[in-house]
Amino acid sequence: MLELGAIAISLFFAMNIGASGAAASMGVAYGSGAVPKARHALFICAIGVFAGAYLGGGEVVKTISAGIIPQDIIDVKVVLIIILSATSSLFLANLLGIPLSTSEVTVGAVVGVGIAYQILFIKSLMIIMMFWVIVPVAAFGIAWLFGKGLYKVQHKPFFKDRPLLTGILILAGFFEAFSAGMNNVANAVGPLVGAGLISVPDGTLLGGAFVALGAIFLGKKVLETNGKKITRYSKPEGILISGTGAGLVIASSIFGLPVPLTQVTSSAIIGLGMAKSGSEILQKHIVKKIIRIWIVSPLFSLAISYMLVKLFLEKDMYSLIVLLSVMLATLGALSLMKAIKDEKRAVHEEGGGI
């Protein structure tokens, strides 16, 4: 019964991956008008994400299932804890309206289990975390560099609204969805593979299918938000954003590295914006908010999975009390800092100095 529950929750998680990160991959192509109908964009996305999972998702699945903690400690109960912890973090991010990486929250949940059992492959974890920084920074740098060149030549006749640019943009969106399949499907099925509930080939096939279904049936809202409600890009800009993200994530997936696709895309957008508007884009509140959530999200899922292991598997109430105390103290300190800041602002607005 637990086995069926773990598989069901994992596949539901896969559908939510398709509805959020995967569906967003076609946002630029849809928003620019290259794909005018939402259902067509989602169908292209579904094909891309399924192909990416089936043809190239195996290496990242192996990393999630056995590259961070030993496979022999992953059983059905641990799988449930990992998936529930990752899902909780994603739910929090959705409430905040921040694009969040399923890779970060899933890895954080796996690490929390490893810390609870005091067994963790530190070297592998350090490599993964290093690439969480390197890949988005590379996306920023590539988009900034090519963006500078783009804005110097975009007035040329070739960059007008041509069918060739439309085709290239659709292809770039397809490959971004392909890269999402290669990298993100592992977050849903990797723990199942680690527990021996499913094989790597079957996991990538089943996970890819459910991510694709999630994109088709649940992804329209995210597609509309990313494509029409944030900002619109020209076709050359869209090709640069989608192509940069797809290339870097596919390269990382070949080496079995789970990387944050949403952060890669966001970094490329910021790099392009900086090339166009200068460094003032870095001062925007949303950029600061995204950076904060990047840091908090894996730590949040780590804390949840650690608490669940201590509470339900080890019955260690003392460690749980200590962790809860630290969390409450942190929240209290943040609340106090905000209150002091608000008080200073009030004094300033009332003309009392400062």
Q: By three-state DSSP, how is residue 349 classified? A: helix
DSSP-derived secondary structure letter, 68:
S
Cα distance between residue 105 and residue 298, in whole Å = 5
Q: What is the pLDDT of residue 158?
A: 67
C-beta separation of 109 from 301 below 8 A: yes
Report the alpha-carbon distance of residue 20 to residue 180 in Å, rounded: 11
Instruction: In whole angstroms, give the CA distance from residue 329 to residue 326.
Output: 5
pTM: 0.87
Backbone angles phi, psi at 219, to 5 degrees: -95, 0
pLDDT at 184: 92
Residue type, 304: I
Q: Which amino acid is at 35?
A: V
Look at residue 293 in the predicted model and tell me its pLDDT. Answer: 66
User: pLDDT digits over 77-109, tens only?
Assistant: 999 999 999 987 777 665 655 556 788 899 999
Quick one: which of 183, 185, 222, 169 has its CA closest to 32? Answer: 169
* Per-residue pLDDT at 232: 67
Q: How far is CA 243 from CA 28, 42, 119, 239, in A?
A: 11, 18, 38, 6
What does the block give as tokens for 195? 């527990």
Task: Give which of 321, 287, 263, 314 is closest to 105, Cα–Cα.
Answer: 263
3-class DSSP state for residue 216?
A: helix
pLDDT, tens digit, for every residue of 21-66? 777 788 888 887 889 899 999 999 999 999 999 999 999 999 999 9
**Dihedral angle of Cα 135, 68, 303, 17, to the nearest 10 degrees:** 60
> What pLDDT was estimated at residue 345?
75
To 10 degrees, the CA torsion angle through 309, 315, 321, 327? 10
pLDDT score of 79 = 94
Using the structure block, give the residue that is written with the tokens 């894996």.
298
What whole-number distance in Å separates Cα of residue 75 and Cα of residue 62?
16
Residue type, 11: L
Q: What angle do CA 253, 254, 257 make, to 5 degrees?
A: 40
Radius of gyration of the chain (CA): 21
pLDDT for 119 equals 93
Phi, psi dihedrals of residue 230, rounded to the nearest 5°: -95, -70
Contact 204, 122 (CB under 8 A): no
Nearest to 42 by CA among 184, 139, 180, 153: 180
What does the alpha-carbon distance between residue 37 and residue 207 come to, in Å, rounded to a whole number?
26
Weakly modelled stretches of the chain, pLDDT under 70? 92-100, 158-161, 228-232, 279-290, 293, 347-354
